[in-house]
Amino acid sequence: MTELSYDRAIKRGTENLETPEILPAVYGRFSTPFFRQCRIALKILPGVVEHVVSLHTASGGASEDNIQASKDDPLPFNAQAWDDGNEMYRRVVYWTGVFSISLGGEAPGAAKRAWRNADGKVIGLPAGISPEAAKLATFAMTSWLQGRLNSIMSLDPEDVTLFHADLRDVYRVNARWPQQDRAVWSRLPCPYCQGRLAIYPPTAPGRGKHIECETCANTFTEAEYESAVKELERATKTAQQLAKKYARSAS
């Protein structure tokens, strides 16, 4: 069996030091970035599943030019999209089952109703399922996992490490099948940790943009973001005025 290396995250900015600083274990044997990576992946996973299933069920759709190069020859466009969405769904069902047993609780109905073969192995999403239904089934489980994520981090570290590795694959699937509207990066740093802020377009008519920090996962409404931008502009203008004032005084 391959030996697993439990989370030993290095603090940003110390990577090139002779002795990089290791972040402390805050959640069980795992660091805060490790925990947040799991949380963010769970948050976006239902939308990714919905998107790739829509590519499979849509008539026509995009061309294979949208598929990023990989070491494996891609299957035909719709078949590969379905396989990617199906695999993400199977993993969520699997880990929901594992952790419901470990935590001594009841798994959500979506996990118990998952399509299985005669041996009880999860086959995946039912054929012909709509993108919306695939999203709802996935969301029922990811929200269950998110609500118990603190407790999950204190379970068997080998299971938690494998869970994290499976969740990180959602980013590969999301990149392989890019949605029409992608996030843009704000020049404004996160007010909490100075990380980068991603601005996602509205997901439905009438909804606002979604702003989230890639580092600490804090989210902001459009009003909060616009207020922060105005505050930064005021601070920048004040700094420029002071710089001019002292420059004139020094001359």
- If we measure between CA atoms, which residue out of 188, 183, 180, 208 comes closest to residue 198? 183
Q: List CB contacts of 4: < 8 A, sequence separation 6 or more.
A: 157, 158, 161, 162
DSSP H stretches of helix in the chain: 32-57, 77-102, 109-112, 131-147, 149-152, 157-176, 222-250
- If we measure between CA atoms, which residue out of 125, 96, 136, 91 comes closest to residue 112? 96
Question: Position of tokens 């909490």?
Answer: 192
Task: State how far the Cα of 233 lies from the Cα of 188, in Å rounded to an integer.
Answer: 10
Burial of 46 (0-12, 13-18, 19+ CB in 10 A): buried
| Per-residue CA distances from 244 to 179, 208, 219, 236 (Å) | 46, 39, 36, 12
To the question of pTM greater than 0.85 for the whole model, the response is: no
- Taking 50 as the pLDDT cut, the residues of the chain under it are 1-3, 59-77
Query: Edge-to-edge strands of the sheet including 197-200?
Result: 184-185, 197-200, 210-213, 219-220
Structure confidence by residue, pLDDT tens digits, 90-126? 999 999 999 999 999 888 787 777 777 666 677 788 8
- If we measure between CA atoms, which residue out of 92, 204, 190 comes closest to residue 146? 92
Q: Are 16 and 139 in contact (CB under 8 A)?
A: no
Q: Are 121 and 93 in contact (CB under 8 A)?
A: no
Structure confidence by residue, pLDDT tens digits, 52-71? 888 876 533 333 333 343 43
CA 55 to chain centre: 20
